[in-house]
Structure 1
Amino acid sequence: MASVAAKVMSTVSAPYGVLVTATQLAERIADIKSAETCDCSVFAFLSEVSPQLQRSFIDEMGVSKDAVAKVAQQFSTLAGYRLPLAV
């Protein structure tokens, strides 16, 4: 696992005891269903990982930036404040 993914996974997994792989997280951050189900690993990624590290992870994992932006927007609405990647 690359250092970017390792940093992200330690931030996302540790506080919530959620065991997801980097690949699973990459899929979830681009899936609008994650917002509908209030996936805590995705919210942790969008709210607790630095925006620069978020972008590096998205690039490293080959995730659609547009899809992540839509998920971030949904989570922003749910949370009541703007998340950095929200469109």
Structure 2
Amino acid sequence: MASVAAKVMSTVSAPYGVQVTATQLAEKIADSKSVDAFDCSVFAFLSEVSPKLQQSFIDEMGVSKDAVIVVAKKFSELAGYKLPLAI
């Protein structure tokens, strides 16, 4: 696993005890169904991972940034505050 993914996964997995792979997380952060499921790993990615590391992970994993922005906006609405990728 690349160092970017390892850093992201330690931030996302450790606090919540969520067992998700980097590939699974990459899929989830671009899937609006994650919002409907209140996926804590996705919310942790969007709220606890630094914006620079978020972008590096998105690039490294080949995720559509536009799709992640849609998910971030929806989670931002639920959370009641602006998340970095909810631009």
Give the TM-score taking structure 1 as reference length: 0.99
- Across the two proteins, how many residue pairs are aligned to each other? 87
Q: Where does structure 2 lack aligned partners over 5 or more consecutive residues?
A: none
| Superposed counterparts of 1:4-83, under 5 Å | 4-83=4-83
Q: CA deviation at 1:8?
A: 0.1
Q: CA deviation at 1:39?
A: 0.1
Following TM superposition, by how much is the alpha carbon of 1:52 offset from its aligned partner in structure 2, in angstroms? 0.2
**Structure 1 gaps, min length 5:** none
Residues 49-81 of structure 1: CA distance to partner in whole angstroms, max 9, x if unpaired?
000000000000000000000000000000000
Sequence identity, in percent?
A: 82
- CA drift at 1:33: 0.4
Amino acid across the alignment from 1:48? E
Output the CA distance in 2 between the equivalents of 1:18 and 1:64.
23
Partner of 1:86: 86
